[in-house]
Amino acid sequence: MNSEKIFPIFLIVFASISLLIVTSIVISLIINSYPIFLRDGFSFIFKSVWNPVKEDYGILPALLGTLISSAIAISIAMPLAISLAIFSAEIAPTSIRGFINSVSDLMASLPSVIYGLWGLYVLAPILNQYIMTPLHQYLGFIPLFSTKPIPTNLFTAGVLLAIMITPFSSSIIREAYNAIPHHLKEAAYSLGMTRWEVIRTLLGYIKSAILAGAFLALGRAMGETVAVAMVVGNTFTLPRSLFDMGYTISSLIANQFPNAEAYSYMMPALYSGALVLFTIGLIINLAGLYWIRRVVTRG
Amino acid sequence: MRTYTKYMAVVAAVVVALISVFILSYFWIPTERIGSQRSTTTTIATTSPTMRVTTTLSGVVNGAGATFLNPQMQAWASKFYELTGGRIQVNYQSIGSGAGQAKFREGVLDFAGSDPPLKSDIYNEFKAKGGIIQFPVIIGTIVIVYNIPSVESGKLRLTGEVVAKIYLGEISYWDDPAIKALNPDLNLPHEKIIAVHRSDGSGTTRVFTAYLSKVSEAWKSKVGSDFTVSWPVDELGNGVGGKGNEGVAAAVKQNPYSIGYVETAYAYSTGLAVALIRNRDGNYVLPAKEAVASAAKALVKVLPKADEDWSNIFPDEIIDPPGKESYPLTSFSFVILRQVYDDPVKAAILNEFFKWVLTEGQKPENILEGYDPLPPEVAAIGLDGLKLLRTG
């Protein structure tokens, strides 16, 4: 048969398989979370309670915890990721570039349970002693730092997530940076620009890749389960400051899933948590796509 | 275009190969098992009631459930595998008590391991369908651990009421009069108590909160007992959740002036300070071998038979038993079987394996550190229960 005809058929088959998988995930999330929405309606999303004894569930603290810890993570990770990318593409001596890149790629692929254990036993005590406690002591009047910190809290989770996602978004930015046509760089230098001015101009050129790196990293931060469950503090209360302990939806699922079947409504509650997380991820990604498109067409 | 075709052909070949492996393995593995089961001639009726491990049986049984039971069950299974010359393989997956019970109910598992026995509605459902056998296989203890830099291990004395008040948030400082009254010799600091608890649903929490419910009316009415509860101390910002025993142990270690509860093995392996707890007779005890054995013996009279409903008495009735030396936070881990199995070989294997677990398996050389063996009177419950196994 003509390969020109077979090729699109293959594409259609494989593309529809992945589409089918995503659709069936969404459908099963909806079916499995249906009972809790039937019982509680949408109030379930805005309640702050997790009481299996009374079969009373609400996920607001976990939802806020997810948003807060991911926001911390992304605001720490992006400057780091951009710096790392530029350092390895522009400034580092060619001989060690390969080394830096492979170490960073290795960090991106480490299993998250390793990050979790390291975060719990190493990062959390260090952050507590050298960053959180001083911040609370001297700047405790600012509401953000008002809670007396203990090692495992939302801030620690955010920092750990930042460390986990930095190499990930850095490699996306690096690849985009390296793909910039060489003549653009030469043109910039020939105009008499300094090295810093050239880098700034080229970064503007790959804005969309930087945003893409940020959104992918944000998605990973929001969905991270095990590592966060180990360092977030896991208390089901509304956070009052950055140093308060909290929960995230993913860590709630990781914590509660094993025994959830012993209750009538916990499984639906966890599934609807996943559905909410999915919806937020979808909204953020759509917003990101829209933004990237605007940036690209404007630039 | 030639390269595209080649590439697509390779991809298609891989996909087809993967799919065929899945389909083949689906049909293949059960056939193989049936084959090995047919090769045996033993049935329950002919199984000899000796303590020797029979070598005529061969096959696989699958169980899953309580994480607490997991290391001990793996040790038993591998020893038994060795003793039968590799003929009998007992698989156990540590998926949690709740999940184990649910999967067993769906009929996916041959047996379930569980920290609490079946709830009464599920027990009744099984009873209507041919009956259930549930019996203790091992003793587990929970210790209260603390981190007060100036107080060494085994010095701090606590009562259940005081622990309940700490987790209720009613006692917030270590120098509270209620704690001072129990420890007149200790110099307790005016520091906030950080109360650490499990964040994942667990049988350990179920037993710990059952204890608090038993000793404190306020706890019983405000919080209750379950795999996960809503911790009042969290509302005050003085509670911390740790994932798993290791998470609780790490949180207690990292937070000076904290208190927590873990399975005994974890307290010793992490070097945490362990509190003395006042038992029902007014003595302060640690979970030493004798204290645990004393607690288990005190319970023999109240324990039901293997085919009866345990939900009313466990863990609420058996926790905090009488006896001068008894350790209050002593509990059992259970194995749950159906009375009727379609497959006679499976029933025979389960019978042989658990008979061994309840006799030879309880000897010190087969018990891992952190667990305690059943006294013979309690092991007898399971041995009697196994006689109800039948095929149909």
Place of tokens 């996916």: B108
CA distance B18 to chain A (A): 15
Helix (H, G, I), strand (E, B) or coil at B258: strand
Check residue B27 and give its pLDDT. Answer: 45
Place A158 in a pLDDT band, splitting at 50, 70 and 90: very high
Q: What is the DSSP secondary structure assignment for residue B91, as one 8-state letter?
A: E
Q: Which residue of B has its CA nearest to A245?
A: B240
Q: Which of B5, B199, B247 sits opposite A3 (nearest CB)?
A: B5
Contacts of A14 in chain B (CB under 8 A): 11
Helix (H, G, I), strand (E, B) or coil at B139: strand
Residue B7, CB-side half-sphere exposure with 13 Å CA sphere: 7
Contacts of A234 in chain B (CB under 8 A): 199, 240-243, 247
Check residue B7 and give its pLDDT. Answer: 64
Whole-complex ipTM: 0.79
Which A residues, 246 through 265, put their C-beta within 8 Å of a C-beta on chain B? 251, 254-256, 258-263
Determine, for residues A49 and B230 on separate chains, whether the beta-carbon distance falls below 8 Å. yes
Complete domains list, chain A, with CATH:
20-298 (1.10.3720.10)
Closest among B358, B361, B348 to B37, alpha carbons compared: B348
Place of tokens 């992304």: A74
Q: Which of A53, A151, A235 sits opposite B234 (nearest CB)?
A: A235
CA distance A222 to chain B (A): 19
> Is the Cβ–Cβ distance between A232 and A156 less than 8 Å?
yes
Check residue B312 and give its pLDDT. Answer: 82
pTM score above 0.95? no
Contacts of A151 in chain B (CB under 8 A): 251, 254-255
Determine, for residues A240 and B98 on separate chains, whether the beta-carbon distance falls below 8 Å. no
Helix (H, G, I), strand (E, B) or coil at B262: strand
Determine, for residues A3 and B4 on separate chains, whether the beta-carbon distance falls below 8 Å. yes
Contacts of B196 in chain A (CB under 8 A): none
Instruction: Give CA B144 to chain center in angstroms.
Output: 18
Check residue B151 and give its pLDDT. Answer: 92
- Please state, in angstroms and rounded to a whole number, the distance separating the CA atoms of residues B367 and B359: 12
Determine, for residues B96 and A235 on separate chains, whether the beta-carbon distance falls below 8 Å. no
Check residue B35 and give its pLDDT. Answer: 34
Average pLDDT, chain A: 90
Q: B96 to each of B26, B38, B114, B320, B347, how far by Cα in Å?
A: 26, 33, 8, 24, 24
Q: Provide the residue-wise pLDDT of chain B in tens; the chain has 392 residues.
A: 455 566 666 666 666 666 655 555 544 443 333 333 333 333 343 344 444 455 578 889 999 998 888 889 999 999 999 998 888 999 999 888 888 888 899 889 999 999 888 888 889 998 888 889 999 999 989 999 999 999 999 999 999 999 999 999 999 999 999 999 999 999 999 999 999 999 988 888 988 999 999 999 999 999 998 889 999 999 888 999 998 888 899 999 999 999 999 998 788 888 899 999 999 999 999 988 888 888 888 888 888 899 889 888 877 778 888 888 889 998 889 999 999 999 889 999 999 999 999 999 999 999 988 889 998 989 999 999 999 998 87
- Phi first, then psi: give them for residue B95, nearest 5 degrees: -115, 0
Residue pLDDT, tens place only, B297-331: 888 888 889 988 988 887 777 888 888 888 999 88
Residue pLDDT, tens place only, B151-174: 999 999 999 999 999 999 999 999
Q: Which residue of B has its CA nearest to A129?
A: B254
CA distance B208 to chain A (A): 14
